[in-house]
Chain A
Amino acid sequence: QVQLQQWGAGLLKPSETLSLTCAVYGESLSAFYWSWIRQPPGKGLEWIGDIIDSGSTNYNPSLESRVTLSVDTSKNLFSLRLNSVTAADTAVYYCARGRQFPSQFDPWGQGTLVTVSS
C-alpha cells in the first residue's frame, strides 16, 4: 500500500522560501504524477503543480512564477519550493499521487502547516 510522508519547515518570514519534501513508500515514482496541493486555514483546496519521474512539471498559472518542483528518483521523493512567500501563502500543504494529467488525487500525505509571519 502506497504511503506518502512529508516534512519541511513550518514557520517562515515574509520573502523567505518555502521548502517541503514528500517521500513515497511502497511504490516507485514512475508511471504516476506527483502533486502538491494547499489549503489555507478554513478554506478550500488549490492545486499547486505536479511532476513525473523524468522531472517534467506542470504548474498552476497562479503560482507558476514562484514555484519549483523537483524529484529524486534514487530516494523516491519529490520536493516543493515556493519563493517570496507572504501571509497569503499560509496554508496546510499536501503532497498527493495522481494517475494521469490532470488527475484525481489518491492517496495524500499527512499535510504540513506552513505559517508565514513576521
Chain B
Amino acid sequence: EIVLTQSPATLSLSPGERATLSCRASQSVKSYLAWYQQKPGQAPRLLIYDASNRATGVPARFSGSGSGTDFTLTISSLHPEDFAVYYCQQRSNWPPTFGQGTKVEIK
C-alpha cells in the first residue's frame, strides 16, 4: 500500500497570501494524484486530478504540479472560503490511499 505524507500538518496564512501544500508518496504514483478540499461537516470536493488537471468548476487560483513521488497544491491567493483541510489521494496502485491532510487556517 502506498503511503502519502502531507506537509505541513497546519498552514497558518492570511487572506490574499499564497499557500503551498506538499504531498510525498512512498513510491512513484506517476501522475495519478488528486487533491480534495474538505470543509467542516461537508464531504470532500475534488479539486485536482492526475496531478495538474482542475476539476469542473474549480477556480483557476488552484493549481497542482509534480510527478513521481513529490506533488504540490498551490493556492495563488487565498480567499476566505479556501480555509479548509486538503487531502491528496493516489490512484496509481491498488488500493487507492489518502494523505492525512493539511489544514489551512486563518492566521
Interface SS, B side:
loop
Residue B8, interface by CB 8 Å: no
Asked if B96 lies at the interface with its beta carbon under 8 angstroms from chain A, I say yes
* Count of chain B residues near A, Cβ 8 A: 25
Q: B100 and A104: CB pair below 8 A?
A: no
Residue of B42, B46, B95, B101 near A104 (CB, 8 A) is B46
Binding site for A on B (CB under 8 A): 32, 34, 36, 42-46, 49-50, 55, 87, 89-101
| 17 interchain pairs, CB-CB under 8 A | A45-B44, A58-B94, A94-B44, A101-B94, A102-B90, A102-B93, A102-B95, A104-B34, A104-B50, A105-B34, A106-B45, A106-B46, A106-B55, A107-B43, A108-B43, A108-B44, A111-B43
Interface residues of A (CB under 8 A from B): 44-47, 58, 60-61, 94, 96, 100-111
